[in-house]
Amino acid sequence: MLFLKGIKLNAIADRPAYFASLRARRGQPIVILAELGPDEAFALWKQHVLGDRPR
């Protein structure tokens, strides 16, 4: 999982274009949590951060 520090999404006027540029630079498929619904984003974040650890 990759975190982008210092990026303020509220300040980005064209988020779809910004996210497309991120995908183009990575060169591999990525999922951007900000594009997902809150429940789906949190579930995906939890899966990658906590893994199989008990909650």
Q: For the chain, give every domain's residue range.
A: 9-50
Cα–Cα distance for residue pair 47/5, rounded to 1 Å: 21
13-54 pLDDT, tens digit per residue, is 999 999 999 999 988 889 999 899 999 999 999 998 888 666
Global pTM exceeds 0.85: no
Tokens of 30: 């990525």
Task: State the residue for tokens 């060169």.
Answer: 27
Coil/strand/helix, residue 18: helix
